[in-house]
Copies of this chain bind each other. A is one copy, B any other.
Amino acid sequence: MSDEKKLAIIATKGSLDWAYPPLILASTASALGYETEIFFTFYGLAMLKKKLNLQVSPLGNPAMPMPMPVPVIMQAMPGMQSMMSSMMKKTMKKKGVASVEELRDLCVEAEVRMVACQMTVDLFEFDTKDFIDEVEYGGAATFFEFAGKSDICLYI
């Protein structure tokens, strides 16, 4: 067991697009035999809710491929964010890409350790009853226990 590779991830974003990288990397690493831990902090805590409602926004991200050209100001109009999020989910499904929920389930099944940052939970007044049951709680010091002996450590 001590020869097992280790992957530590800090997941700080909670949008629909940026929820994917930590979950894809964690589930892939687990499948490759890595011991994996994700530390969820700041906006990344939104990924731990039982009922996910992640959204995506093109604002401030000129590199986001759009199905058609939309002026920036229009991207800020009411309803645009929900529409974009709904479209992204449909495209993902059509292309056979797993949903965030499915990837998270994969991680749980693969025994990826999931730690929520207690400080941010308190700061943003998240209700931990809304989080999935597999979550543990800790702080930055908890994170370093595992990260300090990891082979790969990513801040996402």
Find A61's partner among B41, B43, B124, B150 (CB 8 Å cutoff): B43
User: What is the bound-complex CA distance between A139 and B139, given in angstroms?
Assistant: 32
Interface residues on A, range: 35 or more
Interface check A28, CB cutoff 8 A: yes
Residues in B with CB closer than 8 Å to A150 are 152
In the complex, are the beta carbons of B73 and A77 less than 8 A apart? Answer: yes
In the complex, are the beta carbons of A119 and B97 less than 8 A apart? Answer: yes
In the complex, are the beta carbons of A57 and B57 less than 8 A apart? Answer: no
Residues in B with CB closer than 8 Å to A64 are 43
In addition to A54-B62, A57-B61, 14 A-B residue pairs with Cβ atoms within 8 Å of each other are: A10-B154, A15-B61, A20-B42, A21-B155, A24-B140, A28-B139, A28-B140, A32-B148, A44-B63, A55-B62, A59-B76, A72-B78, A92-B123, A153-B154
